[in-house]
Copies of this chain bind each other. A is one copy, B any other.
Amino acid sequence: MSKLLIIGGSDAGISAALRARELDATWEVTVVVEDAFPNYSICGLPFYLSGEVPAYQQLAHRTHAELSAAGISLLLNHQARAIEPDAHEVVVWEATHPARRLPYDRLLIATGARSRRPRFPGIDVPGVFLLHSMQDSFAMQRFLSEHAPRSAVIVGGGYIGLEMVDALTLRGIAVTLVEHGPSVLKTIDPHLGARVRTHLEQHGVVVETGIRVQQITAQQKQLRISGTEGFEVATDLVLVAVGVEPRVELAQAIGAELGTQGAIRVSRSMETSLPDIVAAGDCVETWHRLLTRPTYLPLGTTAHKQGRIAGETAIGRSARFAGTLGTQVVKVFDLVVARTGLREDEARAAGFDSLTTAGTYLDHKGYYPGAQSVQMLLSGDRTTGRLLGAQMVGPVQTEVAKRIDVVATALFHDMTVEALSDLDLSYTPPLGSPWDLVQMGAHAWSALASGNISTSLVHAHDSRLFQKP
């Protein structure tokens, strides 16, 4: 029997294992997992820490028994220490046991990412946390239970930072969010980031932007965190969530080529530069479908897709990663923020003749109770008419996550903005409009692109049209 060995038991590793076994059950598939938590949903950690998910075991996408039933062997609490490509072996350690050598015919490196760890003094003081692994979340959970903190500072206004703002506020903790950029959630336009900030403030969160944290010190029973612009706060807990970086040490040690942002370079089939070794997930580059070049965008959805492709490639099938569009969504309190494709500035940097329209649209017909506003930015190329991206912010009920998915599906097919009007989308007054708001946005964009801005009447009642400054 041929052996597929997988280093890493999170999204990419397990997806690859399942796909390989699904397609060809003659492969012996072994997954080396560094902790006791294979196939756990890392994206679920904030909801465990908020108390919404009472038991951490619920975070498992699948149980150990289910994975075994699929014919996957799991080596839990095993650390892969070295790859020996010539021998086709991996050296693994398990606690105090002697090192073992595991042979492979094909190897998948799915070592994921780790939290970025800023260098300022005090990052190691007790009460200061990072959040990426199950162990991280256990440590924080224990602190929350034992110390019942009443205040917290979260450093970093990205996805995890915002979800943790929500989570800790839900626990009754007074939260201050510190972001070094000029607005929160820098993956979206500052124009929309401002709405997110207002929403945070309405939920009692103190938001400090434009501040770089410089130091944390223990002070009696509290922590003192200080930064630029005279920022100084006493708090009970600090969470540092300033992004992640790929874990590439094993790959690097054997000379695998690295690419964008130090992630492992892979082909569209997830092959590394070394024979018989594929890689996938948060440790590798991500092909971007619009930029037509690799980028680094570590997301669970992408890890699943890349893992699936890597599983196929590993067992000798032909498969190709279709690429990311950078589709992302986050829920913060009652607000959902979603994006797909390129932002205006990203599109311009990539050489597109980008035009972005901003509009506010009702999620469904205004006469039906409960209609709420969605703010949308829609970007297209003025020269070719090609759709380039969209961002939406709206309350949970406005279904913006799925509306972004419609745009993502359109982007996948290189549609023009104009052609969005041709899509046969569903309509009933409680849930939409005869032209869905995506299509109203497309009309507005076309009107602006062609100079017909007087035609905003077409969108009367449901939108206001204005050009981004």
Contact = CB atoms under 8 A, between A and B. Distances in A.
A342 B422 CA distance: 18
Contacts of A368: 44, 47, 52-53
* Oligomeric state, in copies: 2
Contacts of A455: 18, 22, 70
Contacts of A330: 428
A262 interface: no
Interface in A423-469: 423-432, 434-436, 447, 452, 455, 457-458, 460-461
B44 A424 contact: no
A408 B308 CA distance: 25
Contacts of A452: 22-23
Interface stretch (A55-63, A81-89, A345-353): A55-63
Contacts of A412: 422-424
B458 A22 contact: yes
Contacts of A47: 367-368, 429-430
A61 B433 CA distance: 10
A194 interface: no
Contacts of A365: 41, 44
B322 A422 contact: yes
A165 to B, nearest CB: 14
Interface in A98-143: none
Interface string A354-394: 00000000000111110000000000000000000000000
A73 to B, nearest CB: 15
A224 interface: no
B327 A434 contact: no
Contacts of A229: none
Contacts of A460: 61-62, 66
Q: Per DSSP, are chain A's interface residues mostly helix, strand or loop, or mixed?
A: mixed
Nearest to A447: B22
A35 interface: no
A53 B367 contact: yes
Interface stretch (A181-189, A214-222, A249-257, A299-307): A299-307
A57 to B, nearest CB: 9
Q: For A302, A404, A405, A455, which residue has the most chain B Cβ atoms within 10 angstroms?
A: A405
A457 B62 contact: yes
Interface residues of A, number: 81
A402 interface: yes
A74 to B, nearest CB: 14
A253 to B, nearest CB: 30
A409 to B, nearest CB: 4
A367 B434 contact: no
Contacts of A58: 366-367
A97 interface: no
Contacts of A366: 58
Given A47-B429, A329-B431, A401 B401 contact: no
A423 B69 CA distance: 29
A441 to B, nearest CB: 14
A413 B366 CA distance: 31
A64 interface: no
A305 B421 CA distance: 8
A170 B432 CA distance: 21
A403 interface: yes
B369 A52 contact: yes
10 contacts: A41-B367, A41-B429, A59-B367, A62-B460, A327-B426, A331-B428, A336-B431, A405-B406, A408-B425, A412-B422
Q: When A and B form their complex, which 5 residue pairs have the shortest distance between CB atoms, in order from nearest?
A: A402-B402, A322-B422, A329-B426, A58-B367, A409-B409
Given A53-B367, A305-B424, 5 more contacts: A22-B452, A52-B368, A52-B369, A322-B424, A401-B431
